[in-house]
Chain A
Amino acid sequence: MSDNMQIHVKLYSTLKPYAPGSEGQFDLTLRPGATLKEVCSRLGIPETFRRTALINGKRAESDSILNQDDILVMFPEICGG
């Protein structure tokens, strides 16, 4: 299956180092039907790294499927007040 689906990725805070280049934002080409788990694996983000992922503003889990032009945002678990 060829990689011909493109999504836009934004990595923040301590996840930024996993982005190619120096900006946390980049485009990624994937196979159609790729899951969040595959994206993390492609970027080298360990499964043990606790993070929040949003696809188009909606919370996503490891088995969430990505679609053409989706915006994927990931940041480490945080808290505050």
Chain B
Amino acid sequence: MYGWMGKILRVDLTSGVCKEEQLDPAVAKDYIGGRGLGIYLLHREGNPKGDPLAPENPMIMATGPLTGTGAPTGARYMVMTKSPLTGAVTCSNSGGMFPTEFKRTGYDAIVFSGRSESPVYLWVDQGKAELRDAAHLWGKNTHQTTDLLLEETQARAKVACIGPAGEKQVLFASIMNDKHRAAGRSGVGAVMGSKNLKAVVVRGKGRIPLADPDRFKVFNKEILDIFKANVKETPLGLTVNGTAGVVMATQNFGVLPTKNWQQGTFEGWEKIDGEELTKKFLKKNSACYGCPIGCGRLTRVDDEKFKGEGEGPEYETIYAMGSNCLIDNLPAILKANYLCNELGMDTITMGATIACAMELVDRGYLSEDQVGRSLEWGDAEALVELTRMTGTREGFGDRLAQGSYRLADSCGHPELAPVSKKQEFPGYEPRGSQAMGLAYATSPIGGSHMRGDPAYFELFSVPEAMDPHIWEGKAKVTKAFQDLSAIIDSAGLCIFFAVRNLAAKDLGVAPTGILEYINAATGIDYTLEELMQAGERIINAERIFLTEAGFSRKDDSLPDRLTKTPAPTGPAKGMVCHLEEMLDDYYKVQEWTADGIPEPAVIEKLGLDKLKKD
């Protein structure tokens, strides 16, 4: 095989046995890799109705055929499993250096099953895999763990690991790779912790074979030349200010979630925006393997009170811990961000859960006695302190560790949790960006926009500028973005490059550039239709898993605050999110029933009737 390495590593943590098997080329063609391969394997080995923290829940790490090939931003991998936060599927994505190194060991994917009796880590040295004792690492944070593992394996190996949060099964614990990169959402770190798996360490020197290296090289140069020319005309905001540059945009569109999602504008926004971050705390940019953008931020806070250094914060972190908590103290946000990375937790859920707690206290549904300290809007010290306590499940941190939904529910007010399927939203207010609401409600992983980011057409003018206040006509383009994201996530690319540069704007973001890269790399002669259908197949496979897990239209929901309470401020003042109308359109476009279940016709068309048979 080309592009793919052609092998899957199976690690049975119960028996301690590692063995390899061939990747079926037919499966690779139909599901591409990464997220697609992950959902295929999850269907065959997992249980949609099972307990996510039980040994029976498999955890799959998978790269795509373009990971590590030199395609720009071809540096990604996915972690797929059933989520302990949502009970739905999760496909958590990360970049950095680990994914490429992992693939170069010779494996496209690793499937972890069972549970080890005691803490272990997986060491894959070229093609050789073994489980090693990790008792001496248990309890250590992700940075300490990474340093120790590089000492005891090889200095040039790459590490993905959990911190204390994953060990203690914080429901939104993350898996950190290369210290600063996160497979952040939905508690994949908790699943890893429930298996007593502390880390995966890889050292790979294998070449990634390309079917037509010349064709690949020519196309690659073409794409990069266009990219460089574009950047010359319009310097890339992502490079200059990182994703933090988005604060200014969402504030001006009136969709910057503020005060636990009560409104979409924040007075203190300039104190926490990308320019401020660049001016005061940026040391230098950082980039994933093979990325020409370099949106990563290496930052440092010297101020004694919030001293620390690391990567980030991203836009999402700034919204969740900043405007959302009425906090305009950027050093505190940086510190809480560093703590999340070191302890191994998702910054979105962390910030959003603290903001939810602030509102619960404000309304008298939670007392300061129960919290163990004062917790007023804007309290920067509380943000840092409670983040620390959540990572180790100390005191009130134990309750925060369950996420905002369970916290609010335990106080009798689940409606105050900003969630869909119990996962907290990223930073775009749906009352001012209608399609975002649809994306959140229909994302297979719960509150998320990364599985089809409407910000591109609602706010960023890709493929074209659309009016974010209009809900009509948004179902079709949202589906197109979701299908595209499935292809990007399965190929091993990053959304930040692929959407703008590898999709045809005049064809409704058809993945024309991705098609050329994949065909040149793998030698498979996909047609555009076949590739697009693979995206649909993956989306529907995820939807079927959700259906089997008991999810349906009732779970494709948004809190009443967003669908019934008019936005109080900004350009979207007076508006609500018209979810129900958009859902009706969306299910039709998807060929699902009015209850959101894939119809037999679409299941058959996509070959999903064969999903579980051998």
Alpha-carbon distance A53/B241, docked complex (angstroms)? 19
Whether the Cβ atoms of B467 and A76 lie closer than 8 Å is no
CB neighbours of B68 from chain A (8 A): none
Whether the Cβ atoms of A13 and B241 lie closer than 8 Å is yes
CB neighbours of B536 from chain A (8 A): none
Whether the Cβ atoms of A76 and B234 lie closer than 8 Å is yes
Q: B74 at interface (Cβ–Cβ under 8 A)? A: no
Q: B406 at interface (Cβ–Cβ under 8 A)? A: no
Q: B223 at interface (Cβ–Cβ under 8 A)? A: no
Whether the Cβ atoms of A80 and B248 lie closer than 8 Å is no
CB neighbours of B249 from chain A (8 A): 52, 75, 78
What per-residue 1/0 map shows which CB atoms of A33-62 lie under 8 Å from chain B? 000000000000010111110101111010
Whether the Cβ atoms of A75 and B248 lie closer than 8 Å is yes
Whether the Cβ atoms of A13 and B245 lie closer than 8 Å is yes
Q: A81 at interface (Cβ–Cβ under 8 A)? A: yes
* Interface size, chain A (Cβ < 8 Å): 24
Whether the Cβ atoms of B237 and A52 lie closer than 8 Å is no
Choose among B235, B243, B315, B449 the residue that contacts A14 (Cβ–Cβ < 8 A). Answer: B235
Q: A77 at interface (Cβ–Cβ under 8 A)? A: yes
Q: B500 at interface (Cβ–Cβ under 8 A)? A: yes
Whether the Cβ atoms of B465 and A73 lie closer than 8 Å is no
B407 to chain A, nearest CB (A): 25
Q: A18 at interface (Cβ–Cβ under 8 A)? A: no
Alpha-carbon distance A78/B253, docked complex (angstroms)? 13
Closest residue of B by beta carbon distance from A54: B252
Whether the Cβ atoms of A77 and B461 lie closer than 8 Å is yes
Q: Which of B229-256 contact A (CB under 8 A)?
A: 230, 233-235, 237-238, 240-246, 248-249, 252-254
Choose among B233, B248, B253, B495 the residue that contacts A81 (Cβ–Cβ < 8 A). Answer: B495
A41 to chain B, nearest CB (A): 17
Question: Which of B322-330, B387-395, B451-459, B605-613 interfaces with chain A?
Answer: B451-459
Most buried by B among A48, A54, A56, A59: A59
Alpha-carbon distance A59/B581, docked complex (angstroms)? 23
Whether the Cβ atoms of B240 and A14 lie closer than 8 Å is yes
Whether the Cβ atoms of A81 and B234 lie closer than 8 Å is no
Whether the Cβ atoms of B237 and A77 lie closer than 8 Å is yes
Whether the Cβ atoms of A81 and B314 lie closer than 8 Å is yes
Q: A1 at interface (Cβ–Cβ under 8 A)? A: no
What per-residue 1/0 map shows which CB atoms of A6-44 lie under 8 Å from chain B? 000010111000000000000000000000000000000
Choose among B235, B275, B465, B496 the residue that contacts A79 (Cβ–Cβ < 8 A). Answer: B496
Whether the Cβ atoms of A76 and B465 lie closer than 8 Å is no
Alpha-carbon distance A62/B522, docked complex (angstroms)? 43
Closest residue of A by beta carbon distance from B499: A79
Contact status of A81 and B450, CB under 8 A, knowing A49-B233, A54-B571: yes
Whether the Cβ atoms of B460 and A79 lie closer than 8 Å is yes
Whether the Cβ atoms of B465 and A61 lie closer than 8 Å is yes
Closest residue of A by beta carbon distance from B496: A79
CB neighbours of B559 from chain A (8 A): none
A20 to chain B, nearest CB (A): 19
CB neighbours of B6 from chain A (8 A): none
Whether the Cβ atoms of A75 and B314 lie closer than 8 Å is no
CB neighbours of A77 from chain B (8 A): 234, 237, 460-461
CB neighbours of B469 from chain A (8 A): 58
CB neighbours of A76 from chain B (8 A): 234-235, 237
Alpha-carbon distance A14/B500, docked complex (angstroms)? 19
Whether the Cβ atoms of B253 and A54 lie closer than 8 Å is yes
Q: Which of B543-601 contact A (CB under 8 A)?
A: 570-572
B72 to chain A, nearest CB (A): 15
Alpha-carbon distance A78/B235, docked complex (angstroms)? 10
Closest residue of B by beta carbon distance from A10: B252
Q: B403 at interface (Cβ–Cβ under 8 A)? A: no
Choose among A12, A49, A57 the residue that contacts B253 (Cβ–Cβ < 8 A). Answer: A57
Q: B468 at interface (Cβ–Cβ under 8 A)? A: yes
Contact status of A57 and B426, CB under 8 A, knowing A81-B243, A81-B453: no
Q: Which of B444-494 contact A (CB under 8 A)?
A: 449-450, 453, 455-456, 459-462, 465, 467-469
CB neighbours of B456 from chain A (8 A): 79
Whether the Cβ atoms of A80 and B449 lie closer than 8 Å is no
Q: B274 at interface (Cβ–Cβ under 8 A)? A: yes
Whether the Cβ atoms of B453 and A57 lie closer than 8 Å is no
Whether the Cβ atoms of B495 and A48 lie closer than 8 Å is no
Alpha-carbon distance A77/B241, docked complex (angstroms)? 12
A70 to chain B, nearest CB (A): 13
Most buried by B among A14, A57, A79: A79
Alpha-carbon distance A78/B499, docked complex (angstroms)? 12
Q: B311 at interface (Cβ–Cβ under 8 A)? A: no
Alpha-carbon distance A61/B242, docked complex (angstroms)? 26
Whether the Cβ atoms of A81 and B449 lie closer than 8 Å is yes
CB neighbours of A80 from chain B (8 A): 237-238, 242-246, 295, 314-315, 455, 496
CB neighbours of A78 from chain B (8 A): 237-238, 245-246, 249, 460
Contact status of A81 and B238, CB under 8 A, knowing A13-B274, A54-B571, A57-B570: no
Whether the Cβ atoms of B496 and A75 lie closer than 8 Å is no
Alpha-carbon distance A52/B315, docked complex (angstroms)? 18
28 example contacts (A-B, Cβ-Cβ < 8 A) are as follows A13-B245, A13-B274, A13-B275, A14-B237, A14-B240, A48-B234, A57-B252, A57-B254, A57-B570, A57-B572, A59-B467, A59-B468, A61-B465, A75-B252, A76-B234, A76-B235, A77-B461, A78-B245, A79-B246, A79-B456, A80-B242, A80-B244, A81-B243, A81-B315, A81-B316, A81-B455, A81-B495, A81-B496
